[in-house]
Structure 1
């Protein structure tokens, strides 16, 4: 039920990410549905939710640590649905900006829902559920681009209210996170929630004991917090290292096209093919490839180590992006390969999208949901979210600008260089996280040596009753 609600939320997120591709062509045309904006205004509209996203990343992660995961999850769904409702009834440009800005606040759901997978899923299935979540976003994008063939953007917006409403209702049917309950000292409720989620096996009880023990130890060492100690936490290795890793992974996800292909794939393909009809159907093909790729990755990620998957897929994506840049440069400057360019370049772009969604994107989000120690999750989401919103805003605003100034060749060349630099840095600092418990990952980040033992208790008996 939990992961179903998360997947339905992701369908809504996919609709939101793809919506600029439905909205912008209409409102930038004087023959549209009545609201007209310039190309510059359209790019600001597409990126405006990044600014309000900063507010969401400041508020919601901290609320999540105080009130709980379920309350924040409900808020994400409510705000996303409200934004689409305003789009559906909008009759002027300010209303469009209000709707997009409201939808920016729950953008932190990209990290919050990914980290919820880490807390609510068995360690051996985290990658699987994380990938299903990403596949659901592809379904949302596919629905958006498909509906746009028959419906106008207001009708698409009205339909898009449904997934977030369904996800909101499903939230009432699952328990609070055991990690949150342990963090707040509600150990009896933590035990009930943990048993509901993971059962009562010996391994499950061992994981529960480790979770509770780590939080008791954290509270024992924490003592009385003050501003100075809170600031000092941000300078510790177990915060800085995950933050740097998550920030670079976010940059990689942006650079390989997670967000700009959702929003601007039609515009990119029109530049390449000079045919709007071909571009529209290629966009639907892109969404279908994304969905298939993410489904495949749910199996790949279960058997391949996170580092291996990330670096191999990342290297292939960088190569394909450089190849796209080279082919389009030769075509535009020397008019070579014109007879085959209409299908060759789109094929390479679609292949790059496929590889990115098989490897780079699912591996990145799987690591993101695992890498932050529990005591830093609220602050980590907030800090990483600011990086995410800044990068998202830059990508959504600058991609059309780069297309205009440097063409497809320059745009893909620039993004390829970002992928290469990110992979080089991660090669030296990224830990392997596959099939490890959150406690084990936390100890590895902190540099704590681990010992093999069946069950670890702080006393001669379990910390909570069996």
Structure 2
């Protein structure tokens, strides 16, 4: 889907992903055997993963840098609400009824997607500068900051088009070796690895089994499952408030620190239970699990996906978007599929310690290498990867050159 997004546009890719997802829900409703259910799940996987990548990349291009981070985190807040809602609906309604209910938001998204314009960044990438200006004005208006960003976008793409004409042979190989491709790809992988291999999704999905193992208390496990979904929604919303007031990277590093501390404490308590220094039915692990979920939901879960989607330059978003989906699928599958075996062979405390070590390594790389994205235009982020800093040449040229735009 990211390749289609780069070829036919963000709008076309978004509508296509919505149609694939709708087809999955229709097949789920019509399913009378396990084969049809599996086929519908395949459509869900393709449609939902495509929607994640296309939506985040489109938001990063269409929304003003001032509001981009909040908008992208809001996407995760709504997603968290949907997960909590499905958990409740699945308990009280038939799964075919849930299929129809889940089809409605995608239909609304499809209708809205038909009404908005194409991404100005993609239009500029394709050399359609007049349509780019019209779409940009429709989305952002004509204030002074918007004019400057539009000028920067067009001048940047014109420079890229001149460079691409002289590098037509071996383009794919050259793309892989370019600093502004492999560095954001590496940073994207580190960010996604932080989320998946710090146990964020594992502990949400296996929370009932983890608490049963840690406390030997089924009532506590059931309570924790309800609490997990509530925390996911409430504290994702709080993270949107935090990044409105503080830099993305600061909130993320604060969340990483809390995640590491809670994982280490959880691991120590679990180990002490295994050697019977603490009672096996103690609820201390439950409290530490809640602390872990609060810490990770404040930043590791919502902010990582948004920052990872912002880093890749527009000209590489076809291949870069494909890598985003590939990294997500591989890390998602490996973390979830390996979790039961890790619990079995290195115990719960060993698994939590492994997650803490990974979170520490990824956190140090993010602190040292990944740029702050809040308030930065996509052109400025591209300059960071091309020049190693937020280059000011383009910004200075705006005060010297007077290019007439259709404004």
TM-score, with length taken from structure 2: 0.92
In 1, distance between residues paired with 2:132 and 2:394?
25
Q: 2:369 aligns with which of 417, 429, 434?
A: 429
Which residue in the other structure is 2:126 paired with?
Answer: 184
Name structure 2 gaps, 5 residues minimum.
none
Q: 1:206–1:455: 8 Å Cα contact kept in structure 2?
A: no
Per mean C-alpha deviation after superposition, the further-off stretch among 158-167 and 415-424 is: 158-167
Counterpart selection for 2:322 from 372, 375, 382: 382
Residue 110 of structure 2 is matched in structure 1 by: 168
Task: Work out whether 1:95 is the aligned partner of 2:39.
Answer: no
The answer as to 2:93 corresponding to 1:151 is yes
Q: Secondary structure at the match of 1:337?
A: coil
Shift in CA distance, 199/406, structure 1 to aligned 2, threshold 3 Å: same
What runs of 5+ residues in structure 1 fail to find an aligned partner?
1-59
RMSD of aligned Cα (Å) = 2.3
> 1:141–1:368: structure 2 CA closer, same or farther, 3 Å change rule?
same
Contact map agreement 2:216 2:280 (CA 8 A) in 1: no
How far did residue 353 of structure 1 move? 1.3
Question: Is the aligned partner of 1:218 residue 2:218?
Answer: no
Residue 307 of structure 2 is aligned to residue 307 of structure 1: no
Q: Are 1:286 and 2:237 matched, yes or no? A: no
Aligned-pair CA distance for 1:348:
1.5
Q: Deviations over 1:388-422 (max 9, x none)?
A: 21111112211233234344323322222211121
Deviates more, 1:362-371 or 1:434-443: 362-371
Give distance in 2, aligned partners of 1:429 and 1:176.
Answer: 32
Per the alignment, residue 197 of structure 1 pairs with 139
**Counterpart for residue 351 of structure 1:** 291
Aligned ranges 1:3-402 → 2 under 5 Å: 60-106=1-47, 107-223=49-165, 226-334=168-276, 336-338=278-280, 341=282, 343-402=283-342
Shift of 1:366: 3.0
The answer (yes or no) to whether the contact 1:306–1:432 under 8 Å persists in 2 is yes
Q: Tell me the residue number matched to 1:405.
A: 345
Q: Distance in 1 between matches of 2:360 and 2:195?
A: 12
SS at match of 1:149: helix
Report the CA distance between 1:228 and its aligned residue: 0.8
After alignment, is 303-312 or 190-199 more displaced? 303-312
Q: Is this contact kept in 2: 1:309–1:359, CA < 8 A?
A: yes
Q: Secondary structure at the match of 2:142?
A: coil
1:224-263 CA-partner distances (Å, limit 9, x unpaired): 5545122112101111110000000001111234433443
Secondary structure at the aligned position of 1:200 is classed as coil
How many residue pairs align between the two structures?
404
State the alpha-carbon separation in 2 of the partners of residues 331 and 91 from structure 1: 46
| 8 A contact 1:286–1:353 mirrored in 2 | yes
Which residue in 1 is equivalent to 2:380?
440
Query: How far did residue 455 of structure 1 move?
Result: 6.5
